A and B are shown apart, each in its own frame.
Chain A
């Protein structure tokens, strides 16, 4: 087990390197630069800025400089948010995005798993159709429609919750963003759980349990174990995406997470900010792929690491 994890970490390093390399050269080759304003800066000022940020050196040299800095955990200064280093921005934003993402993923597993199980146990009943219909709705209604509607209904008309803002993570401010983040995930989890549960409930070991006359909660627990495999493999990448923040939700609810940095950084050619985000997202994806593999083996003992 431990050697498997070590080996996976070692194979992750070249992947990470390739990702960093591709995105570094992609963003550098993009037309425009971080200091392009509506009114161009004076040539001398531009030259000085480029020298301070080491943009005047050859691209290959900049690449090496960046790589060695990242190795030491230094993501460099941000170009648009001039007073902050990228590391500081992440230190502030990442906990916020992660809190929201973690809550949303927990909500999605609990609600989606329960709904999917109920639908599978009562296949082709009214409950099943309601869950399937809600699932289709959760998948098709875009989050930038749900968010303003919730703001109007819960925030303004009923005045139960604050419309937007972070307010140091007060629970009342978290409710709406978490719901908006979780809805599509609930839909997918419910759908996958339903399909996997239907298949599992028909399998031989469940039939044996039934014939032994065991209570239904024992049967469901056993079936859930097998049914959780496809859900886990979906949730890995989904969790990585959720924990690194959502542009739409953070923009609409005015939350200071890191989701916005991606779009802002790429559009303003904030090279270091974009690169930092790419690295953070890639690390999350790789970690969660590993977590998925480990969970797989925990849930299904037939899977061996080799």
Chain B
């Protein structure tokens, strides 16, 4: 008897779980190889952009006057052919002619020959250069007119090269990625907030209110977009956070249209009518019943809006209206690279590759999500 009673309880303890829309969509998304690879790659890029600048060993705004526009390289700087000219330059300031320059591992031994005794304080010029550490005198002969100096080399890596001011491009690209991603997310968030609220309200109210609200959207739509953005920049100044909240405030139009269309069909559903019959107020119905059910297309549109905003930011930066120095964004780096394309191709290559990789990933994720959530495919 006890055993017999235990059986249904056990079955109850492990009920057949229903598969919600989201579980199914996740399964479909995980089957999409391009989308999964994009999610992984995008996550990697995001982590690299956030934590990378701590690891590269260069602050993003550190200027190295001795390494202006050096090409990308896996080997450490200074290169062998850079050491001699640099020591000759320092020798001229120390007033000693460098002789017998020998590079051994991380150390350079050089003999400085002066016409008068060499002032040891001037050896500080070695340390001031970006290539060397503090110089030590190993040997002093001829009443100080001839000294042998040991100088340690300061090894530096510029995996992506440096820019026209001698700043490490890898760190700057990461910093730029950080800002571009942040801008993309921020503006998209604002756009979705406004678009969803506006579209859901307009669709749910219907009738005259809907007509007027959508007419407003139509009018804003036919205003030239660039004009609008430039006016926002003019009003808000070059404060990039404010500006991108403003850009989000312009980008919500599509979102409002999509959500309105969804809402029109949702408001005829039984559960909405039930809520109306129970006397739930309009605000509550829109918030609890309408908006959560429009989220599918919203999520898809969001992944497509982020790259759009990043491109827009790049475009504004290209026009010189975006992020200001020493801060940087991918658009700024790319437009600088485009100016220096002759002779410094790496300055265009690496930021462009980063931008394209981010946009590619977001596009594939968006496509994957659309396929996963599209009711037509089911």
Using CB atoms and an 8 Å cutoff, list the residues of chain A in contact with chain B.
Answer: 15, 18-19, 22-23, 26-27, 30-32, 136-137, 139-142, 144-145, 147-149, 151-152, 156, 247-248, 252, 262-263, 266-267, 274, 277-278, 281-282, 285-286
In the complex, residue of chain B having the shortest beta-carbon distance to the beta carbon of A184: B311
B interface, over-half SS = helix
A23 & B359 in contact (Cβ 8 Å cutoff): no
- Max chain A Cβ within 10 angstroms of own Cβ: one of B235, B338, B364: B338
A142 & B222 in contact (Cβ 8 Å cutoff): no
Alpha-carbon separation in the docked complex, A31 to B348 (Å): 35
B80 contacts the other chain (CB 8 A): no
Alpha-carbon separation in the docked complex, A156 to B342 (Å): 10
Q: How far is the CB of B356 from chain A (nearest CB, A)?
A: 5
B373 contacts the other chain (CB 8 A): no
A30 & B234 in contact (Cβ 8 Å cutoff): yes
B227 & A277 in contact (Cβ 8 Å cutoff): yes
A27 & B222 in contact (Cβ 8 Å cutoff): no
Using CB atoms and an 8 Å cutoff, list the residues of chain B in contact with chain A.
Answer: 218-219, 222-224, 226-227, 230-231, 234-235, 307, 311, 314-315, 318-319, 331, 334-335, 338, 341-342, 348, 352, 355-356, 359-360, 363-364
B318 & A282 in contact (Cβ 8 Å cutoff): no
8 smallest CB-CB distances across A and B, nearest first, come from A140-B359, A266-B230, A148-B338, A281-B224, A30-B234, A285-B222, A145-B352, A148-B341
A30-B338 contact, Cβ under 8 Å, with A140-B356, A274-B227: no
A278-B227 contact, Cβ under 8 Å, with A144-B335, A152-B342: yes
Alpha-carbon separation in the docked complex, A189 to B222 (Å): 22
Q: How far is the CB of A59 from chain B (nearest CB, A)?
A: 16
Contacts of B234 in A (CB 8 A): 30-32, 266-267
A-B contact pairs, 17 of them (CB 8 A): A23-B227, A26-B231, A30-B234, A136-B363, A139-B359, A139-B363, A140-B359, A142-B314, A142-B334, A145-B352, A248-B318, A263-B319, A267-B234, A278-B223, A281-B227, A282-B222, A285-B222
Of B224, B311, B319, B356, the contact of A278 (CB 8 Å cutoff): B224
- Max chain B Cβ within 10 angstroms of own Cβ: one of A27, A142, A149, A267: A142
In the complex, residue of chain A having the shortest beta-carbon distance to the beta carbon of B352: A145
In the complex, residue of chain A having the shortest beta-carbon distance to the beta carbon of B361: A140
B319 & A277 in contact (Cβ 8 Å cutoff): no
B223 & A22 in contact (Cβ 8 Å cutoff): yes
**Told that A137-B360, A278-B223 touch, could you supply 10 new A-B pairs with CB distance under 8 A?**
A19-B219, A22-B219, A26-B231, A27-B231, A30-B235, A137-B356, A142-B311, A144-B335, A149-B341, A266-B230
Of A22, A140, A147, A274, the contact of B307 (CB 8 Å cutoff): A140
A144-B334 contact, Cβ under 8 Å, with A266-B230, A278-B227: yes
A15 & B222 in contact (Cβ 8 Å cutoff): yes
Alpha-carbon separation in the docked complex, A263 to B341 (Å): 24
Alpha-carbon separation in the docked complex, A267 to B234 (Å): 8
Of B235, B315, B364, the contact of A248 (CB 8 Å cutoff): B315
Alpha-carbon separation in the docked complex, A142 to B348 (Å): 12
Alpha-carbon separation in the docked complex, A140 to B359 (Å): 6
Contacts of A31 in B (CB 8 A): 234-235
A136 & B334 in contact (Cβ 8 Å cutoff): no
Alpha-carbon separation in the docked complex, A248 to B342 (Å): 19
Q: How far is the CB of B67 from chain A (nearest CB, A)?
A: 24
In the complex, residue of chain B having the shortest beta-carbon distance to the beta carbon of A31: B234
Contacts of B331 in A (CB 8 A): 142
Contacts of A22 in B (CB 8 A): 219, 223
B227 & A262 in contact (Cβ 8 Å cutoff): yes
Of A30, A145, A274, the contact of B334 (CB 8 Å cutoff): A145
B319 & A247 in contact (Cβ 8 Å cutoff): yes
Contacts of B341 in A (CB 8 A): 148-149, 151-152
B363 & A140 in contact (Cβ 8 Å cutoff): yes
Contacts of A139 in B (CB 8 A): 359, 363
A136-B222 contact, Cβ under 8 Å, with A32-B234, A148-B338, A266-B230: no
Alpha-carbon separation in the docked complex, A232 to B208 (Å): 30
A145-B348 contact, Cβ under 8 Å, with A152-B341, A262-B230: yes
Contacts of B224 in A (CB 8 A): 262, 277-278, 281-282
Q: How far is the CB of B177 from chain A (nearest CB, A)?
A: 15
In the complex, residue of chain B having the shortest beta-carbon distance to the beta carbon of A30: B234
Alpha-carbon separation in the docked complex, A27 to B235 (Å): 10
- Max chain A Cβ within 10 angstroms of own Cβ: one of B226, B307, B359, B363: B226
Of B227, B230, B318, B356, the contact of A144 (CB 8 Å cutoff): B318
Alpha-carbon separation in the docked complex, A15 to B220 (Å): 10
Contacts of B230 in A (CB 8 A): 262-263, 266-267
Contacts of A274 in B (CB 8 A): 227
Contacts of A23 in B (CB 8 A): 223, 227
B338 & A286 in contact (Cβ 8 Å cutoff): no
Of A30, A140, A142, A147, the contact of B360 (CB 8 Å cutoff): A140
Alpha-carbon separation in the docked complex, A252 to B360 (Å): 25
Contacts of A147 in B (CB 8 A): 338
- Max chain A Cβ within 10 angstroms of own Cβ: one of B218, B230, B342: B230
In the complex, residue of chain A having the shortest beta-carbon distance to the beta carbon of B359: A140
Alpha-carbon separation in the docked complex, A247 to B335 (Å): 14
B219 & A262 in contact (Cβ 8 Å cutoff): no
